Amino acid sequence: MAFHADSRTGVFCQPECASAPGEAAVTRHFATARDALAAGFRPCRDCAPLLTGIADPAWLLPLMSEVESDPARRWHDHDLDMMGIDPTMVRRWFIANHGLTFHAYTRLRRLGMALRQIQHGEPVSRAVVASGFDSESGFRDAFAQVFGNPPSAVDRESSIWVNRVATPLGSMILGVHDDGLCLLEFAERRMLDTQLGRLSRHMGRVFLPGEHPLMEQTKQELDAYFAGTLRHFDIPVQTPGTAFQEAVWHALREIPYGETRSYAEIAAATGRADAVRAVGRANGDNRIAIVIPCHRVVGSDGELVGYGGGLWRKEYLLAMEQAQAFHLT
């Protein structure tokens, strides 16, 4: 596939994209996306030229928009039928991507909304009505089944709020609590369930779908990063782990934008030059992709090795950063 790039906007597109440069534009052509990135162009948000074959299904965005427009709504299969969406297809997709059915997801979404209301001082009776439950007893039973405690015993510190965020490299799972960002992983990453379990145990919290002010800040900073206008993330992060893991993750954040470091150099930065393999494991255990830039760690010969989000994403991120760093210097 050839990619078309507009020198005026700095964007490259698939040829069939409606936003692709016309004949009057100052157009350049590239055989690969890497070549376009290396030349300083960024991917078009409309056609997502890097996402052929891996984008979310077309029905997902309108469905989730409907869910978020009325989070208290109780969904049934006939509601999906009315939208022209096959309930079986939705069920299979949610199980594959979230580990639970769509109906379980929306139920958990309603419980999460109720939890936030209770944490902010709303009476349980009001939270029951606002979250779409028929009775207070049914709500209390469902609440206790998920959180292990009745509503009156749950405090503000008990949850991690999670949601999906779209990026030019595909959907990511975003997790925050009041103290900061604690999760940012590509949705189809292998071992994601394992990482979620470890994080939940480390922090003693449960995951709930929902919104939080820090999510919007994270999304804005990610947008600026992919647009090439942000080099350093300001979002506060929470990285529970061993002392060595935290030392490695701190060293990762010290790698300048547009540069790379070897595993041996990161080991030396932690004061344990002989712990190269342990650095590799800690790098792989990083739960906050991009913001804690584990993609900037390469082999001693500069080879791209080991990235949970896929080596093609690592290649993209490094090429984008290096092109932007060269362009802005």
Q: Which of 105, 126, 154 is the last residue of a domain?
A: 154
Tell whether the model's pLDDT for residue 245 goes beyond 90. yes
Q: Note the pLDDT of residue 304.
A: 81
Q: Are residues 28 and 72 in the same domain?
A: no
Of the residues 138, 154, 170, the one at which a domain ends: 154
pLDDT in tens, 191-203: 676 777 777 777 7
Domains held by the chain: number: 3
Q: What is the residue-averaged pLDDT of the chain?
A: 80
Q: What is the mean pLDDT of residues 305-325?
A: 86
pLDDT at 38: 42
Instruction: Indicate the helix (H) or strand (E) that contains 73.
Output: none
Query: Read out DSSP for 207-228?
Result: EEE---HHHHHHHHHHHHHHTT
* Token output for 145: 């089944």
Average of per-residue pLDDT across 226-248: 92
Smallest CA-to-CA distance from 249 within 202, 213, 281, 205 is with 281
Q: Is 44 helix (H, G, I), strand (E, B) or coil?
A: coil
Which pLDDT value is given to residue 28? 73
How does residue 158 score in pLDDT terms, banded at 50, 70 and 90?
low
Q: Enter the pTM of the model.
A: 0.62
DSSP percent split of the chain into helix, strand, coil, nearest 5: 45, 15, 40
DSSP string computed for 254-303: TSPTT--EEHHHHHHHTT-TT-HHHHHHHHHT--BTTTS-GGGEE-TTS-
In this predicted model, which residue has the larger pLDDT, 105 or 152?
A: 105
Whole-Å CA distances, 54 to 49, 57, 58, 139:
11, 9, 11, 38
The answer to whether position 186 is within a domain reads no
Spatial strand order in the sheet of 172-177: 180-186, 172-177, 159-165, 206-209
* pLDDT of the residue at 52: 43
How many C-beta neighbours within 10 Å does residue 144 have? 14
Q: Provide the pLDDT confidence category of residue 289 given band limits of 50, 70 and 90.
A: very high
Amino acid letter at 251?
Answer: A
Give the N- to C-terminal CA distance of the chain in Å, as an integer: 31
- Identify whether 294 is a catalytic site residue: yes
136: Cβ–Cβ under 8 A, 6 or more apart, which residues?
124, 125, 128
CA distance linking residue 306 with residue 283, whole number of Å? 9
Q: Which two tokens stand for residue 254?
A: 């010290």
Asked whether residue 177 is domain-assigned, the answer is no
Instruction: Say if residue 239 is in the same domain as residue 314.
Output: yes
Q: Would 178 be classed as within a structural domain?
A: no
For residue 188, tell me if it sits in a domain.
Answer: no
Reduced to 3 states, what is the DSSP secondary structure of residue 175?
A: strand
Please report whether residue 193 resides in a domain: no
Q: Which residue has the higher pLDDT, 134 or 88?
A: 88
Two structure tokens written together for 324: 């932007």
Q: Give per-residue pLDDT as tens, 84-96.
A: 999 999 998 888 7
Q: What percent of the chain has pLDDT over 90?
A: 29
63 and 137 in a single domain? The answer is: yes
* Paired residues of 298 in beta bridges: 262
Do 88 and 22 belong to one domain? no
Residue 228 near residue 42, CB atoms below 8 Å = yes
pLDDT of residue 95: 81
> Which structural domain range is residue 88 located in?
57-154
Q: What is the CATH number of the domain that holds 109?
A: 1.10.10.60
pLDDT band (50, 70, 90) for residue 232: very high
- Per residue in 18-55, pLDDT tens? 766 555 455 677 766 655 654 445 667 777 665 544 55
Instruction: Locate 130 and state its tokens.
Output: 């606002």
Q: Is 136 helix (H, G, I), strand (E, B) or coil?
A: helix
Query: CA-CA distances (angstroms) from residue 326 to 19, 58, 80, 219?
Result: 26, 36, 49, 25
**100 or 24, greater pLDDT:** 100
Query: Which one is predicted more confidently, 157 or 289?
Result: 289
Could you tell me the pLDDT band of residue 9, with boundaries at 50, 70 and 90? Answer: confident
- Which token pair is 226? 């992919």
- From 13, 47, 182, 294, active-site residue: 294
| Co-location of 76 and 25 in the same domain | no
Q: Which of 71-75, 77-81, 218-222, 258-262 has the lowest mean pLDDT?
A: 71-75
Task: Please list the alpha-helical segments (H only) found in 27-182.
Answer: 33-38, 60-69, 77-82, 87-98, 102-119, 124-130, 136-147
- Residue 108: name the closest of 136, 82, 129, 133 by CA: 133
Domain membership of residue 79 (yes or no) is: yes
Q: What are phi and psi of 174, to 5 degrees?
A: -110, 130
Within-domain flag for 291: yes
